[in-house]
Amino acid sequence: MTSLDNIKDTSTPKRRRMGTGRIFRSSLNKSKQNNDLLMGFSPVMIPKHNDVENNTTERCDSPLLPCNQVEFRSICDSENNSSICDIPPSPDVLPASVGNEWESLNICTSHINEIDEISTEDRNNQVLSEFIEDISDDMFQSKLDQSHIKEIDKKFTDNIEKSFDMVNQSISNLDEIMKNKSLLFETRDSFLLDVKEDPTQHIQSNLNINKKEEFKVENSFYGLPMIAKGLFKTYRNIEKFYEWQEECLNLEAIHERRNLIYALPTSGGKTLVAEVLMLREVLNRKKNALFILPFVAIVQEKIWALSTFAVQLDFLVEEYAAGKGHIPPKKRRKKNSIYIATIEKGLALVRSLIELDRLHEIGLIVVDELHLIGESGRGGTLETLLTTVIFTNKDIQIVGMSATIGNLHEIAQFLRADVFQRQFRPVELTEYVKLGDMLHKIVWGPEGVEIVPDRALAYNYSAAATSLDPDLIGGLVSEVVPKGSVLVFCPTKRNCENVTTLLCKLQRREMVSHKAAERQALESALRAEGANSDLAQAVRYGIAYHHAGLASDERSLLEQAYRSGTISVLCCTSTLAAGVNLPAQRVIIRAPHVGRDFLTLGAYRQMVGRAGRAGVCDTGESIVICGASVWPQLQAVLRGGLAAARSALRRGAQGPGGLPSGALSGLLLSGVALRLACTRARMREFLACTLLAVTGDDSCSPSDINTLLDETLRSLLQSGALEVAKGDRGQGKRGEGDTSHVAVRECRVYNDTELAVSALGSAAIKACMDLTAAEQFLVDLDQASKSLVVMGSLHLLYLVTPQDAASIKPDYAHYYSLYSALDEEGIQTAKVLGITEQNAIRMMTGKPITNVSERVLCRFYLAMMLHDLWKQVPFPTVAHKYNLPRGRVQAVLAAASSAAVSGARLCAALESRWAAAALLAELAPRLQHAAAPELTLLMDLPNVKKARALQLSRAGYRRVEDVARAGAADLCGALPHLSRAAATQLVSAARMILIEKVENLRAEAEDVMDELNS
């Protein structure tokens, strides 16, 4: 970066008078004399030269860099108060003549410096236009100057890269920098710190992490740099892997990059192997990895877990869940990423990469809970994702893991994968069944499941206690708590609450006195969130319930309290078994039912798998409470083996109005839209890659795949989602000897007939919407566009309310009271939808409403609820006002936010709907959290809900930068129910977010340079 720093008197007018070429030639000549004094940019404080003569420059009025990402501000107050500033060498290339006095060179990217004040796009356009205006035409036209310009551009690029690298290093090593706070002062708008000594010297000597150097496998930690060994020891307390993990990591399939499925019982350590494989991919092969997880909560939990590694090992962890994640992902040249995504977001990400011909950037896809491929809904989406990746044949390795796959070899055939299977648990699990007052031990033998009497249960129950608790659940719990922890799985949400109340009545005094202060603080926090009074009182005894009816803030508080030992007993539904990681010493299954359905072996294994976890407890026990009459049925389930996971592509294959629905139609549509399978023959090959072609489903065998293709193709053509390509109109292209075809009206589609996706079909694919949902959304939008109420947001919120709102049955008498309280905006919106005063009177009198559909009435009810949330009305107040559980309110809010994102994408893909796209794009960010603006930024942190964000804000941590700069010990002291490990992960996650933003700026800067050099 020689020439640019020595340009003098180059304001924009003078550049235009002299011509850029002469300015650059003059600066190059000067640079030869002063080359030793030139240096790279640094985001930390720089030492001042005492023994080297200053070589000064005047600052140029217009930006020096050919991009809008980096602004250089030198503030060097010399003894004579001159505005002249030295630019000494970078800290890692300091000459021996450097003195001990320091002055500051405060360098930071404008995006970080004003991270929440100016939109990136506006800033890009503004600064880029200024830069282009400053460059005279002779730079691009004069051939004599081209060699100088290329040299300048290369130095520009090198300087940009060095600056971004140093910014990232500063973020990663904030702990080292913060050790001497007396030498620091904070900038107004940035987390970056000016340092009066060179911290990077200490950092590089202690942690040689950021050096991009090759390492020998024999001197590595399971194929990772040796620094990873210290990280696993520090953050996971792992020094050596289990034998099966070492065996799995050294499989021939892994070394030869073949697909793999490995199956072990729950808590066997499967995720650790996946993490090592992903770390190998991003660190060794320099490819991105995609980690598919079933639930948003697990995605956020994994973001926490991997952020500490990402900050230290110099890669990115990006969240793709709910409203988070860039589609398509940012193209990065210097760092690789692990994308952690839900199934739906993972599919959107893969499709966007295929569309841009960037799928090769991913080298590994890991799928957790692979058995979900057989479930309705998400199963079809997961099968679509994996089928698409397999069909593209881009040398992407697929690794799946699960504990409950019944047809493992069929799934392996679908994935073309090897199978690794072991029966390993680090903590021994003892399983019992309670029949009457006798506890029987379950023995798994070669002939199936047998039971052996273990002991009779006898507790000092009074007659009243016996009648209250005939199943002796209180006694079973009291054997473990408060020293240990217990999970009680109940069939329904109501049963969870009833069992919690029962256990509170039966607990001993010692349970009340255990961690009394922590429980009192938890009770206060729950009451502040508007929690049910029964739940708030129950935590005094160390007991709570956990189900989908609770708000996410309440669940988060309870989960943190359970991990810290403040809560000893958690009564929960079966969804917790497949959700967040909450192990227990003892698991009690209240009854062998999940809702109204009888317990399956897969659900049983997931529940009992929560008992006993390495590092948490030394033993694990499970007890299923069963009546003597029900035991034969339960025994048959346990003996019957795991259920087979069969294809879910065709479930829900026909939508309302004859529109094709289901994952199969979406799979074929995406195949045409992405130019993967545009003919009938290629579609046949595409379907041959599906699980459906291996297992079939309830009404279709694998041999029927061709017939099924023609039926679906005909349905898509009839609906207008697919059409014959323009150059192939009429009878279509018919190959030699090609007689089979699909006929729709006057159109015939032969094997080689080229097909194209209609505008609606293409837009639905880009929006990740089902065709039926997309069609219905556009119908609602057309009706709204004729008389859209723009007095506020209510009418727009109605458009994004869930389509299945009819499942919520409001009390019409209460509905009338809400209608009567509407303001002018509400009345006008209701009138446009057909809800009039006459309808309201019918609601009050209980008469049926015939001129407005129930669907419209229910959606408007939810729209009013969303409108209150939009106006920052607290969740508990809204839930009480609309007679809905807090968890249901949040579910509706999340669905509306997702619908707003999808609707905006759908309209953006349809040229005639550009105005609607602009309106809908603003809904999603506000709906995502429905929190006060000052908390929204903190809620971008993974697993930080409104309650935790409020705690952070009250403790003085009002921005992500504040959390990134904090110490783990400080956070533990400032926030209740936050362990040291969780605090460390929170700080790392905050730093990861900031590093990702820096890398986004780097990518944009490189894109600008590429455009200028093209």
CA atoms of 606 and 576, how far apart (whole Å): 9
* Residue 925: per-residue pLDDT: 78
* Residue 11: per-residue pLDDT: 40
Q: Where is average pLDDT lowest: 350-354, 684-688, 771-775, 935-939? A: 935-939
Higher pLDDT, 643 or 158: 643
Domains of the chain: residue spans and CATH: 4-206 (no CATH), 217-421 (3.40.50.300), 429-640 (3.40.50.300), 656-757 (1.10.10), 771-930 (1.10.3380.20), 936-1013 (1.10.150.20)
Q: How many other CB atoms sit within 10 Å of the CB of residue 681? A: 15
Residues 817-876 have pLDDT tens digits of 898 899 999 999 999 998 888 888 888 787 878 788 888 889 999 999 999 998 888 888
- β 755-757/722-724 pair status: antiparallel
* Residue 409: per-residue pLDDT: 92
Q: How many other CB atoms sit within 10 Å of the CB of residue 513? A: 10
* Residue 965: per-residue pLDDT: 86
* Residue 864: per-residue pLDDT: 94
How large is the angle between the packed helices 886-909 and 854-870, nearest 10 degrees? 100
Sign of CA dihedral 409, 411, 414, 416: negative
Quote the Cα angle for 34-38-40, to 5°.
170
Q: How many other CB atoms sit within 10 Å of the CB of residue 46? A: 28
- What's the mean pLDDT in 776-799? 90
* Residue 219: per-residue pLDDT: 60
Show the DSSP H helices in 393-454 as ranges.
408-415
Name the nearest CA neighbour of 310 among 862, 1004, 942: 942
Q: How far is CA 450 from CA 122, 587, 785, in A?
A: 70, 20, 66
CA atoms of 107 and 236, how far apart (whole Å): 36
Show the DSSP H helices in 191-331 as ranges.
199-206, 227-236, 243-249, 252-255, 270-283, 296-313
- What's the mean pLDDT in 633-638? 91
Residues 866-902 have pLDDT tens digits of 999 988 888 888 988 999 888 888 888 888 988 898 8
Q: Kindly tell me if the per-residue pLDDT of 740 is higher than 70.
A: no
* Residue 485: per-residue pLDDT: 92
Average pLDDT, the chain: 77
Residues 594-625 have pLDDT tens digits of 988 999 998 999 899 888 877 777 789 999 99
pLDDT band at residue 38 using 50, 70 and 90 as cut-offs: very low
Residues 130-186 have pLDDT tens digits of 444 444 344 344 444 455 545 655 665 666 666 666 666 666 665 655 554 433 333
CA atoms of 491 and 630, how far apart (whole Å): 15
pLDDT band at residue 309 using 50, 70 and 90 as cut-offs: very high
* Residue 130: per-residue pLDDT: 47
Q: Where is average pLDDT lowest: 209-218, 426-435, 642-651, 727-736? A: 209-218
**Structure tokens of 519?**
């429980």
- What's the mean pLDDT in 272-298? 93
* Residue 430: per-residue pLDDT: 92
* Residue 460: per-residue pLDDT: 84
Q: How far is CA 142 from CA 29, 145, 953, in A?
A: 19, 6, 57
Local structure of residue 319 (DSSP, 8 states): E
The listed range with the strongest mean pLDDT (189-193, 415-419, 722-726, 988-992) is: 415-419
- What's the mean pLDDT in 983-1004? 85
- How much of the chain is in helix, strand and coil states, percent to nearest 5? 50, 15, 35
* Residue 74: per-residue pLDDT: 35
Residue 815 exposure: Cα atoms within 13 Å on the Cβ side: 26
* Residue 46: per-residue pLDDT: 36
* Residue 572: per-residue pLDDT: 93
- What's the mean pLDDT in 60-72? 35
How many residues are recorded in the chain? Answer: 1014
Q: Kindly tell me if the per-residue pLDDT of 31 is higher than 60.
A: no
* Residue 875: per-residue pLDDT: 83
Is the full-model pTM beyond 0.85?
no
Higher pLDDT, 317 or 56: 317
Local structure of residue 747 (DSSP, 8 states): E
Residues 553-589 have pLDDT tens digits of 888 889 888 988 899 999 999 888 777 788 899 999 9
pLDDT band at residue 350 using 50, 70 and 90 as cut-offs: very high
Torsion of CA 179, 180, 182, 183, to 10 degrees: -120
Helix or strand holding residue 570 (H, E) = strand 569-572
Task: Give the per-residue SS3 of 133-199.
Answer: HHCCCHHHHCHHHHHHHHHHHHHHHHHHHHHHHHHHHHHHCHHHHHHHHHHEEECCCCCCEEECCCH
